[in-house]
Every structure is written in structure tokens, then in C-alpha cells.
Structure 1
């Protein structure tokens, strides 16, 4: 038992000398789970079932029912979320300038965009990536079919003054 206590003390000392990198305390979104106040009105999408969620002012993730207007703020996490753009019926977001802000110093925000060329024809993937811990400024392409937003990041549409 004494040996176990010594090992725990050594481990605690090593952790104190090499702390883990800071990370935002944002749990994986789930309907009914809590969300931080700074994510109020931010939407996300669940990867396996494709359901959409919004962080409400009450501090809870809630399902989004039915069609909705394109959102101007999104949360991506883990392997990413895939959304539809204006080259698709009922787009989830608008084309234009966007900024992705990493939620922790090691997060890298990246996007893979596919646009519509013509009826039934899609362009090759356009990949954009930021640097660890740095914002990514991105032009969401016109006629966007899909965009996959990757990394633990909050994506915000850069709206002209007066429209935010």
C-alpha cells in the first residue's frame, strides 16, 4: 500500500511539472445537456443521426424541429459536422466570409467544401485549414453543396455592419 502512495505522489509531481494544455470545457453536444452561455444561439449537428441542436439561453442544448433559416453560428467538434449550402434546397448556412475560432490552443479549424457545377455534377473538394489555436478566415463558396467543418471550433458568419 505504501508503494502505491509513493507512485501517486510521483505521478502528481510529474503532472504539476507538465500540465495538460488548456481546453475549453465544452461537452459533446446532446439534447438536454448543458451548454455554456457564450454558445447561446449557436447550432450544431449530431454526427450519427444528423439531428440539429441549438444552445438556448437557458444553457441547454435543444433539438431544432422542422426547416430553419440558415444559421450564422455553428459549433464543430471531433470529426466534424457536415452542412448544406446554397447549392442545396433548405441550406444550413449562407455563402460568404466566415471565421472559425478554435476552442482551445491545440484545436485546428478546417473545412472541406464541395460546390455544384451543374445538374448532378459536383466540383472536387476544396480544403482549407488554419493553424493550431489560430482563427481560420474562410470564404464559404457560392453554390455550396456541402461543407464539413472540422475541429473544436465556433464558426461565425462575418456579417456586414448593421446586419448582425
Structure 2
């Protein structure tokens, strides 16, 4: 399954998954989401989809992750302009989980001590993958839409 999801990203085709339930600790998650992380919107807890097929809590800090699930109103993560970043800067692809989903991102970078840049909005199109650069010195990124976000790996490293 993971190979199929990787192939879908390589060819720019989004996996259609309208049946993915809202993540919560102890709830089931699809096998192709193994090692994918997400964040609960109200309490801010982090979850990871375990190989057992269950969402489990993750304690911070943790190493930057290369695959994230956004849903509903979106999730907000910290980048490399923040202590203990949740993800790395670089090329990323967001794949909509159903044909009507729209992936988008709102990024804020650090200009200097206590100074943040204006929001950079990266809009997506309904049912289409969004390719974007997660900016250097990223303070926060809000990943919007029912989407699976993956850090693009250089050839030979993925």
C-alpha cells in the first residue's frame, strides 16, 4: 500500500480516500498512513498512525517528520525558524484525499528576533496535488484541506 501511495505522488495523482475518519487517539487509520503524523486542532496533541492501524499520541519534542495529514480546518505546525521544528523546509507535495478536497498552505517566516514576515498563501485546486516550497526560516505553516502532505525526496533518498 505504501508503494502505491508513493507511486501516486510520483506521478502527480492524488489518492482518493473519502472514507478516512477524523483522527483521534485509539481510532483506526489506513495502512497506507503508517508513520504519518497529524495534530488535533483544539488541544494541539500530535498523533501518529502506527503499523497496527491505530492513531497513537506522540510526545513532543520529536524529530521533524516528512509526512503529515491535514483535515477539516487544517493543522498548524512549526518549521525550522522555531525550536524543535515539526517539519523541514524544502519541496513538499500535498495530495487531496478525495476529488473535491483543496489543499492549501499559509506560511509565516522569521525575519529577525521577534519579527515575522506576512503570511504567504499557497492556494491549491479542487482534487489536484499542490506542489510547494516550505520556506526557510519557517515559523508556522497551516496545512489546509483533507490532504496527505509529503516531503519530496531527492532521487535515491526516498
Q: Would the TM-score normalized by the shorter structure come out above 0.5?
A: yes
SS at match of 1:38: helix
Which segment is superposed worse, 58-67 or 72-81?
58-67
Match of residue 117, structure 1, among 111, 116, 120? 111
Work out the CA distance in 2 between the residues paired with 1:117 and 1:153: 29
Paired position in structure 2 for 1:24? 18
Structure 2: gaps spanning 5 or more residues: 1-15
Paired position in structure 1 for 2:29? 35
SS at match of 1:54: strand
Match of residue 143, structure 2, among 149, 153, 156? 149
Work out the CA distance in 2 between the residues paired with 1:23 and 1:46: 19
Match of residue 88, structure 1, among 71, 74, 82? 82
Work out the CA distance in 1 between the residues paired with 2:90 and 2:127: 23
TM-score, normalised by the number of residues in structure 1? 0.85
Shift of 1:162: 2.8
Q: Does 1:46 align with 2:47?
A: no
Which segment is superposed worse, 79-88 or 66-75?
66-75
TM-score, normalised by the number of residues in structure 2? 0.88
C-alpha RMSD of matched pairs (Å) = 1.0
Return closer, same or farther for 1:145/1:136 CA change in 2, 3 Å cut-off.
same
Shift of 1:27: 0.4
For residues 74-115 of structure 1, give each alpha carbon's deviation from its aligned partner in whole angstroms, at most 9, with x where no partner exists: 000000000000000000000000000000000000000000
SS at match of 1:115: strand
SS at match of 1:124: coil
Q: Which runs of 4+ in 1 moved over 6 A?
A: none
